[in-house]
Amino acid sequence: MDNTETNTLLTITDIIPQRSRTQPRRVRLSDGFTFPVSDDTLVRFALAKGVMVSQEQVREIRSQEEAFQAKQAAVAICGRRLRSRKELEEKLREKEFGSEAIAAALAFATEYGYANDTNFAQAFVRDQLLRRPVGRQRLQLELQRRGVAKQDIAEALASVFSDSDQELQLAIAAAKKKLATSRASDPQKRERSLANFLAARGFSWEIVRKVMEELK
Protein backbone atom coordinates (compact mmCIF):
# COMPACT_ATOMS: atom_id res chain seq x y z
CA MET A 1 0.00 0.00 0.00
CA ASP A 2 1.24 3.50 -0.79
CA ASN A 3 2.51 5.09 2.44
CA THR A 4 1.52 8.51 1.11
CA GLU A 5 -2.12 7.42 0.90
CA THR A 6 -1.94 5.79 4.34
CA ASN A 7 -0.48 8.90 5.97
CA THR A 8 -2.74 11.41 4.20
CA LEU A 9 -4.66 13.31 6.85
CA LEU A 10 -8.33 14.07 6.49
CA THR A 11 -10.41 16.39 8.63
CA ILE A 12 -13.73 15.49 10.19
CA THR A 13 -15.97 18.21 8.79
CA ASP A 14 -19.21 17.08 10.39
CA ILE A 15 -20.81 14.46 12.60
CA ILE A 16 -24.30 13.99 11.24
CA PRO A 17 -26.94 13.40 13.97
CA GLN A 18 -28.98 10.22 14.20
CA ARG A 19 -32.35 10.16 12.45
CA SER A 20 -33.61 7.74 15.08
CA ARG A 21 -32.32 6.00 18.20
CA THR A 22 -31.67 2.82 16.27
CA GLN A 23 -29.49 4.49 13.63
CA PRO A 24 -25.82 5.40 14.20
CA ARG A 25 -24.44 8.85 13.51
CA ARG A 26 -22.32 9.43 10.41
CA VAL A 27 -18.88 11.00 10.24
CA ARG A 28 -18.18 13.17 7.20
CA LEU A 29 -14.58 13.67 6.10
CA SER A 30 -13.02 16.52 4.14
CA ASP A 31 -12.89 14.37 0.99
CA GLY A 32 -16.69 13.90 1.16
CA PHE A 33 -16.59 10.31 2.41
CA THR A 34 -19.02 9.40 5.20
CA PHE A 35 -19.32 6.34 7.43
CA PRO A 36 -21.53 5.31 10.39
CA VAL A 37 -20.35 5.44 13.98
CA SER A 38 -22.01 4.59 17.27
CA ASP A 39 -21.63 6.71 20.40
CA ASP A 40 -19.33 4.02 21.74
CA THR A 41 -16.96 4.44 18.78
CA LEU A 42 -17.14 8.24 18.97
CA VAL A 43 -16.00 8.18 22.59
CA ARG A 44 -13.39 5.45 22.11
CA PHE A 45 -11.61 7.28 19.30
CA ALA A 46 -12.38 10.82 20.56
CA LEU A 47 -13.99 11.76 17.25
CA ALA A 48 -15.24 15.31 16.87
CA LYS A 49 -15.58 18.00 14.26
CA GLY A 50 -12.15 19.35 13.31
CA VAL A 51 -10.22 16.24 14.37
CA MET A 52 -7.72 14.99 11.75
CA VAL A 53 -7.44 11.29 10.92
CA SER A 54 -5.38 9.23 8.50
CA GLN A 55 -6.73 6.67 6.04
CA GLU A 56 -5.30 3.95 8.25
CA GLN A 57 -7.10 5.34 11.28
CA VAL A 58 -10.35 5.49 9.31
CA ARG A 59 -10.02 1.80 8.44
CA GLU A 60 -9.37 0.95 12.10
CA ILE A 61 -12.35 3.04 13.25
CA ARG A 62 -14.66 1.40 10.72
CA SER A 63 -13.39 -2.06 11.66
CA GLN A 64 -14.02 -1.42 15.35
CA GLU A 65 -17.46 0.00 14.58
CA GLU A 66 -18.42 -3.10 12.59
CA ALA A 67 -17.25 -5.33 15.45
CA PHE A 68 -19.31 -3.26 17.88
CA GLN A 69 -22.41 -3.53 15.70
CA ALA A 70 -21.88 -7.29 15.33
CA LYS A 71 -21.71 -7.66 19.11
CA GLN A 72 -24.93 -5.67 19.48
CA ALA A 73 -26.57 -7.87 16.86
CA ALA A 74 -25.37 -11.01 18.66
CA VAL A 75 -26.95 -9.85 21.93
CA ALA A 76 -30.24 -9.11 20.14
CA ILE A 77 -30.24 -12.46 18.33
CA CYS A 78 -29.53 -14.47 21.48
CA GLY A 79 -32.00 -12.37 23.45
CA ARG A 80 -34.89 -13.66 21.37
CA ARG A 81 -34.00 -17.27 22.10
CA LEU A 82 -30.93 -19.37 22.90
CA ARG A 83 -28.68 -20.10 19.93
CA SER A 84 -25.77 -22.43 19.33
CA ARG A 85 -22.50 -20.80 18.26
CA LYS A 86 -23.04 -22.13 14.73
CA GLU A 87 -26.55 -20.69 14.54
CA LEU A 88 -25.33 -17.33 15.83
CA GLU A 89 -22.51 -17.27 13.29
CA GLU A 90 -24.95 -18.04 10.46
CA LYS A 91 -27.30 -15.26 11.59
CA LEU A 92 -24.44 -12.76 11.67
CA ARG A 93 -23.35 -13.80 8.18
CA GLU A 94 -26.92 -13.27 6.98
CA LYS A 95 -26.58 -9.71 8.24
CA GLU A 96 -23.46 -9.42 6.07
CA PHE A 97 -20.91 -8.76 8.80
CA GLY A 98 -17.30 -9.46 7.86
CA SER A 99 -15.29 -12.41 9.21
CA GLU A 100 -13.31 -10.32 11.71
CA ALA A 101 -16.44 -8.68 13.11
CA ILE A 102 -18.16 -12.06 13.42
CA ALA A 103 -15.15 -13.54 15.22
CA ALA A 104 -15.17 -10.63 17.67
CA ALA A 105 -18.93 -11.00 18.22
CA LEU A 106 -18.66 -14.76 18.83
CA ALA A 107 -15.83 -14.25 21.33
CA PHE A 108 -17.89 -11.58 23.10
CA ALA A 109 -21.05 -13.74 23.13
CA THR A 110 -19.11 -16.71 24.51
CA GLU A 111 -17.33 -14.68 27.20
CA TYR A 112 -20.54 -13.14 28.51
CA GLY A 113 -22.66 -16.29 28.25
CA TYR A 114 -24.88 -15.30 25.36
CA ALA A 115 -23.64 -18.26 23.29
CA ASN A 116 -22.99 -21.40 25.34
CA ASP A 117 -23.44 -24.71 23.53
CA THR A 118 -23.66 -26.70 26.77
CA ASN A 119 -26.58 -24.63 28.04
CA PHE A 120 -28.10 -24.45 24.58
CA ALA A 121 -28.09 -28.24 24.13
CA GLN A 122 -29.79 -28.89 27.47
CA ALA A 123 -32.41 -26.17 26.91
CA PHE A 124 -33.05 -27.41 23.38
CA VAL A 125 -33.67 -30.99 24.54
CA ARG A 126 -36.05 -29.90 27.30
CA ASP A 127 -37.93 -27.58 24.95
CA GLN A 128 -38.35 -30.26 22.26
CA LEU A 129 -39.70 -32.79 24.75
CA LEU A 130 -42.16 -30.26 26.13
CA ARG A 131 -43.50 -29.76 22.61
CA ARG A 132 -43.89 -33.45 21.71
CA PRO A 133 -42.38 -36.88 22.47
CA VAL A 134 -39.28 -37.47 20.33
CA GLY A 135 -36.46 -40.00 20.49
CA ARG A 136 -32.80 -39.76 21.32
CA GLN A 137 -31.74 -40.13 17.67
CA ARG A 138 -33.90 -37.19 16.54
CA LEU A 139 -32.57 -34.94 19.28
CA GLN A 140 -28.98 -35.94 18.55
CA LEU A 141 -29.39 -35.22 14.84
CA GLU A 142 -30.98 -31.83 15.46
CA LEU A 143 -28.16 -30.80 17.79
CA GLN A 144 -25.52 -31.99 15.34
CA ARG A 145 -27.14 -29.89 12.62
CA ARG A 146 -26.76 -26.89 14.91
CA GLY A 147 -23.04 -27.51 15.32
CA VAL A 148 -23.08 -28.69 18.93
CA ALA A 149 -20.08 -30.81 19.99
CA LYS A 150 -20.51 -34.52 20.76
CA GLN A 151 -19.70 -34.09 24.44
CA ASP A 152 -22.34 -31.38 24.91
CA ILE A 153 -24.90 -33.52 23.07
CA ALA A 154 -24.11 -36.56 25.18
CA GLU A 155 -24.48 -34.60 28.43
CA ALA A 156 -27.77 -33.05 27.32
CA LEU A 157 -29.25 -36.40 26.35
CA ALA A 158 -27.99 -38.05 29.53
CA SER A 159 -29.77 -35.40 31.61
CA VAL A 160 -33.08 -36.52 30.09
CA PHE A 161 -32.64 -40.19 29.25
CA SER A 162 -31.08 -41.49 32.45
CA ASP A 163 -32.37 -44.98 31.57
CA SER A 164 -33.85 -46.68 28.51
CA ASP A 165 -37.31 -46.93 30.09
CA GLN A 166 -37.77 -43.15 29.88
CA GLU A 167 -37.36 -43.16 26.11
CA LEU A 168 -39.69 -46.16 25.84
CA GLN A 169 -42.39 -44.33 27.79
CA LEU A 170 -42.06 -41.33 25.49
CA ALA A 171 -42.42 -43.59 22.47
CA ILE A 172 -45.52 -45.26 23.93
CA ALA A 173 -47.09 -41.87 24.61
CA ALA A 174 -46.38 -40.78 21.03
CA ALA A 175 -47.77 -44.06 19.66
CA LYS A 176 -51.02 -43.82 21.64
CA LYS A 177 -51.59 -40.27 20.47
CA LYS A 178 -50.95 -41.30 16.88
CA LEU A 179 -53.30 -44.30 17.11
CA ALA A 180 -56.07 -42.08 18.45
CA THR A 181 -56.08 -40.20 15.16
CA SER A 182 -55.34 -43.12 12.83
CA ARG A 183 -57.93 -43.89 10.15
CA ALA A 184 -56.33 -47.11 8.91
CA SER A 185 -58.67 -50.09 9.39
CA ASP A 186 -56.21 -52.79 8.36
CA PRO A 187 -54.16 -53.88 11.44
CA GLN A 188 -50.97 -54.56 9.45
CA LYS A 189 -51.17 -51.28 7.60
CA ARG A 190 -51.81 -49.44 10.86
CA GLU A 191 -48.82 -51.15 12.48
CA ARG A 192 -46.48 -50.27 9.59
CA SER A 193 -47.68 -46.68 9.63
CA LEU A 194 -47.11 -46.44 13.37
CA ALA A 195 -43.63 -47.95 13.13
CA ASN A 196 -42.62 -45.48 10.43
CA PHE A 197 -44.08 -42.62 12.45
CA LEU A 198 -42.04 -43.54 15.53
CA ALA A 199 -38.86 -43.99 13.48
CA ALA A 200 -39.38 -40.54 11.96
CA ARG A 201 -39.69 -39.15 15.49
CA GLY A 202 -36.19 -40.42 16.19
CA PHE A 203 -36.92 -43.58 18.16
CA SER A 204 -34.62 -46.52 17.48
CA TRP A 205 -36.03 -49.65 15.86
CA GLU A 206 -35.39 -51.50 19.14
CA ILE A 207 -37.63 -49.00 20.93
CA VAL A 208 -40.20 -49.26 18.12
CA ARG A 209 -40.25 -53.04 18.48
CA LYS A 210 -40.84 -52.78 22.22
CA VAL A 211 -43.66 -50.29 21.67
CA MET A 212 -45.37 -52.70 19.28
CA GLU A 213 -45.11 -55.50 21.80
CA GLU A 214 -46.43 -53.26 24.56
CA LEU A 215 -49.43 -52.12 22.53
CA LYS A 216 -50.31 -55.64 21.47
Instruction: List pLDDT tens digits, range 145-172.
Output: 999 999 999 999 998 888 768 999 999 9
Q: Does 188 have pLDDT greater than 80?
A: yes
| 52: nearest Cα among 30, 32, 33, 34 | 30
Q: Does 21 have pLDDT greater than 90?
A: no
In the prediction, which pLDDT does 8 show? 84
| 3-class DSSP state of 14 | strand
Which residues are CB-neighbours of 41 under 8 A, at least 6 positions away? Answer: 47, 61, 64, 65, 68
Q: Does 3 have pLDDT greater than 70?
A: no
In the prediction, which pLDDT does 24 show? 83
Percent over 90 (pLDDT), the chain: 76
Domains and CATH numbers, the chain: 3-111 (1.10.10.10), 117-215 (no CATH)
Q: How far is CA 63 from CA 14, 49, 58, 132, in A?
A: 20, 20, 8, 45
Tell me the backbone φ, ψ of residue 10, rounded to 5 degrees: -120, 150
Instruction: List pLDDT tens digits, range 44-78.
Output: 999 999 999 999 999 999 999 999 999 999 999 99
In the prediction, which pLDDT does 194 show? 92
Q: Do 44 and 79 meet the contact criterion of CB atoms below 8 Å apart?
A: no
Alpha carbons 199 and 135: distance in angstroms, whole number: 8
Q: Do 76 and 105 meet the contact criterion of CB atoms below 8 Å apart?
A: no
Q: How far is CA 142 from CA 11, 131, 170, in A?
A: 53, 15, 18
Mean pLDDT of the chain: 91
Question: Judging by beta carbons within 10 Å of its beta carbon (0-12, 13-18, 19+), is residue 3 exposed, middle or buried?
Answer: exposed
| Entry pTM | 0.82
Q: pLDDT category, 203, cuts 50, 70, 90?
A: very high
Q: Does 83 have pLDDT greater than 70?
A: yes
Per-residue DSSP letter, 48:
-
Q: Do 19 and 36 meet the contact criterion of CB atoms below 8 Å apart?
A: no
In the prediction, which pLDDT does 1 show? 46
In angstroms, how far is CA 189 from the centroid of its own chain? 41
Alpha carbons 20 and 30: distance in angstroms, whole number: 25
Write down how long the chain is. Answer: 216
In the prediction, which pLDDT does 6 show? 56
Alpha carbons 203 and 189: distance in angstroms, whole number: 19
